[in-house]
Chain A
Amino acid sequence: NAGVTQTPKFQVLKTGQSMTLQCAQDMNHEYMSWYRQDPGMGLRLIHYSVGAGITDQGEVPNGYNVSRSTTEDFPLRLLSAAPSQTSVYFCASSYITGDRQFFGPGTRLTVL
């Protein structure tokens, strides 16, 4: 039981490049979410999903895309990276919305 896994652990991008952050969970959780953590800002919700095929925007969705084709996977796409997207990104999952969430180890992204 691996819990929530994220890849890559570190990534450096140039402005304008695109990439996909991977997230997977093996707990059969319906709810999955992406957060970014910036100094003094806490955990801000980017996008979330309440089940396969269903996604919605969080607090800071601009510049990011998500899809949920399976229960297990919830990738986050950066369409055209900007320096403002330099952050640490966490994926999390829970059995239902609003319940205790399990977090992945994070992806540290730097955009030059």
Chain B
Amino acid sequence: DQQVKQNSPSLSVQEGRISILNCDYTNSMFDYFLWYKKYPAEGPTFLISISSIKDKNEDGRFTVFLNKSAKHLSLHIVPSQPGDSAVYFCAASFRFGNEKLTFGTGTRLTIIP
């Protein structure tokens, strides 16, 4: 029973274009959503988060969109840069209920110069 799903294992995008990574969830109790970025041989690092009371959160080139009715979130990276090549994990939790984070299986993003 996978509550957080990333259906695209990989994505290739031209440098300078927009990268869109998608994530779907099934648990309607989730109230907090995060994206992590992972380079090879390193631990995941936090990228951006969004609370369920919002539908958009921006941080520089990164924007996360949340569609609660569709149980869907997406990460937009504009413009994409070679250093963005990494594996991206989405995660969700019912933070108000003190529940653990649940992670998706990850999407490998490759930026083509």
Where chain B touches its partner, the secondary structure class is loop
Give the segment of B55-63, B71-79, B98-106 that binds chain A. Answer: B98-106
Residue of B44, B93, B97, B104 near A103 (CB, 8 A) is B44
Is the Cβ of B43 less than 8 Å from the Cβ of A106?
Answer: yes
A76-112: CB near B (< 8 Å → 1, else 0) gives 0000000000000010100011111111111010000
**Is A12 an interface residue when CB atoms closer than 8 A count as contact?**
no
Measured as residues with beta carbon below 8 angstroms from the partner, the interface class of chain A is 20 to 34
CB-contact partner of A102 in B41, B46, B99, under 8 A: B46
Encode A16-42 as 1/0 by CB contact (under 8 A) with B.
Answer: 000000000000000001010000111
Q: Quick one: which of B94, B98, B100, B105 contacts A45, CB cutoff 8 A?
A: B100
Which of A90, A99, A108 lies at the interface centre, i.e. has the most chain B CB atoms within 10 A of its CB?
Answer: A99
Interface membership of B64, Cβ < 8 A = no
Min Cβ gap A86→B in Å is 16
Does chain B have a CB within 8 A of A54? no
Residues of A within 8 A of B43 (CB): 4, 90, 92, 103-106
B22 interfacial by beta-carbon distance below 8 Å: no
Distance between B43 CB and nearest chain A CB, rounded to angstroms: 4
Question: 26 interchain pairs (CB within 8 A)?
Answer: A4-B43, A35-B103, A42-B104, A43-B44, A43-B89, A43-B103, A43-B106, A48-B100, A90-B43, A96-B95, A97-B99, A97-B100, A98-B32, A98-B93, A98-B98, A98-B99, A98-B100, A99-B95, A100-B34, A100-B49, A101-B46, A105-B42, A105-B43, A106-B41, A106-B42, A108-B41
